[in-house]
Amino acid sequence: MTMKKSDMEWKKILTLSQYNIMRMKGTEIPFLGEYNEHFEKGVYVCAACGVELFPSNTKFPSHCGWPSFYDKSKKAKIKENDDRSFFMQRTEVVCDNCGGHLGHVFNDGPKPTGLHYCINSAALKFIKK
């Protein structure tokens, strides 16, 4: 992780929802996120630090309630952590640049990767291309 900020600095930069999700490892209500059904051409970047995470051509309609991607950007700095919270075993994904919680990755995605990055809209910003 290259970007370090205090808790107070993050509270000034992020919205309350973004802070809850990205710093406190929360989640947003399914199907209500800004990018759940968003399919424009461009890139999705980390809402906290702006690092490119997912190209729009890897986004797919998973109908799970959160934006879903089958692959990350070649420029992405994503770290995977074991997550055993809530009596489940999952793989958490965080921005490796700022440490922000993004969501989780599962092995039930479409070809060619078979991956399913299930990401909170609040953890993303979209840049249209």
Residue 88's CATH number: 2.170.150.20
pLDDT level of residue 82 (50, 70, 90 thresholds): confident
The tally of domains found in the chain comes to 1
Instruction: Evaluate whether residue 96 is within a structural domain.
Output: yes
And the tokens for 97?
């640049």
**Is-catalytic flag, 49?**
no
Q: Provide the domain limits for residue 85.
A: 7-128
Is residue 40, in this structure, part of any structural domain at all? Answer: yes
CA 1 to chain centre: 16
The answer to whether residues 107 and 2 touch, using CB atoms and an 8 Å cutoff, is: no
Q: How many C-alpha atoms does 74 have within 13 Å on its Cβ side? A: 0
Asked, for residue 44, whether it belongs to a domain, the answer is yes
Question: What is the Cα–Cα distance from 20 to 108, expressed in whole angstroms?
Answer: 27
pLDDT in tens, 39-54: 999 999 999 999 999 9
Residue 16 lies in a domain: yes
Asked if residue 42 belongs to a domain, the reply is yes
The model's pTM: 0.93
Reported as a single tens digit per residue, the pLDDT across 111-121 is: 999 999 999 99
Residue 68 domain-assigned (yes or no): yes
Tell me if 18 is assigned to some domain.
Answer: yes
With respect to residue 100, please indicate whether it lies within any of the assigned structural domains. Answer: yes
How do residues 6-59 score in pLDDT, each as one tens digit? 999 999 999 999 999 999 999 999 999 999 999 999 999 999 999 999 999 999
Distances (CA, A) of 64 to 33, 43, 77, 128: 12, 21, 24, 24
